[in-house]
Copies of this chain bind each other. A is one copy, B any other.
Amino acid sequence: MAFDPATLRFNADGLVPVIAQEADTGEVLMLAWMNAEAVARSLHSGRVTYWSRSRQAFWVKGETSGHVQHLIELRLDCDRDCLLALVRQEGPACHTNRRSCFFTAIRGGDEVEILAPMG
């Protein structure tokens, strides 16, 4: 069946959450959002393109930082309201210069930093 981004179930803002996962290692890198056009652009260009909620604009990941996400495969969930992007990430995914945005773990009731910024 041909995939049509319009058949996704977007929220009231016309967005779906997108989980970016490093294709090789399985590491979860970040979560961001796409509208239908961002989904289409990501699939067409092979470069992951989000919708920035703060800037209200398309956000080609890495366009300014160089930390590009090459799209390896896009998957959708059973409810069609969430996407999983398998990517090859160049450099850090996080704006704090860490490989993943999920660098804080809750251990023994405390917040613990488990990932240092990349050198």
Task: Identify which of residues 9-30 in chain A touch chain B, using a CB-to-CB cut-off of 8 Å.
Answer: 17, 19, 21, 25-28, 30
How many copies are assembled?
2
- Interfacial chain B residues near A31, Cβ < 8 Å: 17, 19, 77, 82
A95: chain B residues at CB < 8 Å are 78
Whether B77 lies near A101 (C-beta < 8 A) is yes
Residues of A within 8 A of B (CB): 1-3, 17, 19, 21, 25-28, 30-31, 43, 73-79, 82, 84, 94-96, 98, 101-107, 109-111, 114
A25-B31 Cα distance, complex, nearest whole Å: 20
Q: Which residues of B contact A76 (CB under 8 A)?
A: 102, 104, 106, 111
* Pair B106/A73 contact, Cβ less than 8 Å: yes
- Chain B contacts for A110, CB-based, 8 A: 1-3
Closest to A95 in B: B78
Alpha-carbon distance A88/B24, docked complex (angstroms): 21
Query: Do the beta carbons of A78 and B103 come within 8 Å of each other?
Result: yes
Chain B residues, Cβ within 8 Å of A28? 19, 21, 28, 84
A4–B1 Cα distance when bound, in Å, is 46
